[in-house]
Amino acid sequence: MDDLIYHTRYWVEQDPQRLAFRMCDSGEDVSFAQLEARANQGAHLLRGLGLKRGDHILVLMENRREFLEVCFAADRAGLYYTTASTHLSPDELSYMIGDCGAGVVIVSDRFADRIARLHQDIAGLRVLVVGDKVEGCDNWSAIAAEQPETPIADESQGLDMLYSSGTTGRPKGIKWEMTDTPAGGRTMLIDLLGGLFGYSREARYLSPAPLYHAAPLRHSMVTIKSGGSVFIMSKFDAEGALKLIERHRITHSQWVPTMFVRLLKLPEALRAKYDVSSLRMAVHAAAPCPVEVKQRMIEWWGPVIHEYYAGTENNGFTAIDTAEWLSHVGSVGRAKLGKIHICDESGQELPIGSEGEIYFENGHQFTYHNDPEKTAASRNAQGWTTLGDIGRVDEEGYLYLTDRKSFVIISGGVNIYPQETENALLDHPAVLDVAVIGVPNEDFGEEVKAVVQTVAGQQGSPALEVELIEWCRARLSAIKCPRSVDFRSTLPRTETGKLVKRQLWREYRGL
């Protein structure tokens, strides 16, 4: 057991009643002993359903106690587990189940209305329900409770197989090679995340985002495997997060820039009310963070802000702490996994300081499940891999992101990266959220449009539209500034804060 120190069984031997995780809204606590027993019961159930190492399951749940218990069961049964967004339509869900080849689907009772459609679309699909009983379906909780609490005889290390967010196309499963190794040993994620962010027995990690996304799921599981405790919100609430940091003396947390924006939009007196001094590591990622927003968070929380750049693919990974960032403002750090190369459209490397597509050499290898063409398109002739992001590297090796390749606006033959315009608009006190996209223009092909969500109490108006355009013109070259501004009550974002620009892009083209 000494070499399997990242197994919950190891931590049970140290302190069985130690908190593994808490569901903050319901107040449910799960000790390491309870998690170990329930994961074993789940693994027995999965084996009893005929699943063997390398098979797939799909999990569709809101943030609830059973979510992590099911994932830990699959993780020690040598299975691939796909966690699906709760916002998927029935068609999208059926596609994902068929694409990943799930032998079993485990669904929360909250989504029972989708089960009949799944049975209709996928013949012979085995669906188990977590929570209240649903007619015609076996109940995971009831059957699992009848299983042994001891380990299965053939434990092996499983893996998640998560799907891309689909912001620029149909989601694809991101698959890592599974090796036949014992459950609970060192993994790439444990070495990488534990080494960079200090997840350990002392960590008290706040997860304010949906567990079905890569970062919340992986960081939560790594924290627990390292002996730490995880505190899970049902959904993000700015003041609620501050309350939890103070109440539970949170040491580690993970955020996206939109969460920072909402925290900073709270009244100053309200922000000052809460004690956040326990924080040692506030990690953010998922999207570029406006410089002004990050500077204000550092002023508020101190030198605990850490940033990383990576995708679900984990083909490469950069990271930067507060001190580094203050001397390299706007950077997402230097490579911690893989070697960075900036390349042109043909995949050839560009000189230092040039802007181009970001590739990683010798990073973690992945494939896009059932899509050899997309897999091949993510590689260049040298075998380096890319996620399609645009950036540059300075002479010290620090990476600076520009935008997604697919979000580039081409107006009169000039490439315009909307992130810079979005950052400028977010600095305006009336703007809570913004998306900048290209819309058709008869003369130039595309022109810049801003779609804005205003702060509470502020209404969109022709006067505010003019003010926002002039605000941009005072800070950016004219070609980067919106020619028009539309106002919305909300913008389409995933729950981890990624802007779904494809939805707006299609809407403005009548598609």
Q: Which residues of the chain fall below pLDDT 50?
A: 1, 167-168
One of 3.30.930.10, 3.20.20.140, 1.10.150.20, 3.40.50.12780 is the CATH number of 225-404, namely 3.40.50.12780
Question: Which pLDDT score is estimated for 186?
Answer: 93
- Could you tell me where the DSSP H helices lie in 128-189? 140-145, 188-189
CA–CA separation, 91 and 98 (whole Å): 11
- Could you tell me where the DSSP H helices lie in 79-134? 90-100, 115-121
CA–CA separation, 446 and 356 (whole Å): 21
Same fold, 8-175 and 225-404: yes
Other CB atoms within 10 A of residue 466 CB = 11
Per domain, the residue ranges of the chain are: 8-175, 225-404, 408-508
Q: Is the CA virtual torsion 383, 388, 394, 396 positive or negative?
A: negative
Question: Which pLDDT score is estimated for 167?
Answer: 45
- What's the CATH architecture for 408-508? 2-Layer Sandwich (3.30)
Question: Which pLDDT score is estimated for 303?
Answer: 98
Question: Which pLDDT score is estimated for 461?
Answer: 96
CA–CA separation, 61 and 63 (whole Å): 6
Q: Which of 327, 293, 286, 338 is nearest to 307 (CA)?
A: 286
Question: Which pLDDT score is estimated for 1?
Answer: 46
CA–CA separation, 470 and 482 (whole Å): 9
Question: Which pLDDT score is estimated for 413?
Answer: 62
pLDDT digits (tens, 9 = 90+) for 184-209: 999 999 999 999 999 999 999 999 99
Question: Which pLDDT score is estimated for 160?
Answer: 98
Question: Which pLDDT score is estimated for 165?
Answer: 60
Question: Which pLDDT score is estimated for 2?
Answer: 53
Question: Which pLDDT score is estimated for 171?
Answer: 78
Q: Is the CB of residue 458 less than 8 Å from the CB of residue 430?
A: yes
Q: Which fold has domain 8-175?
A: Rossmann fold (3.40.50)
DSSP 499: B
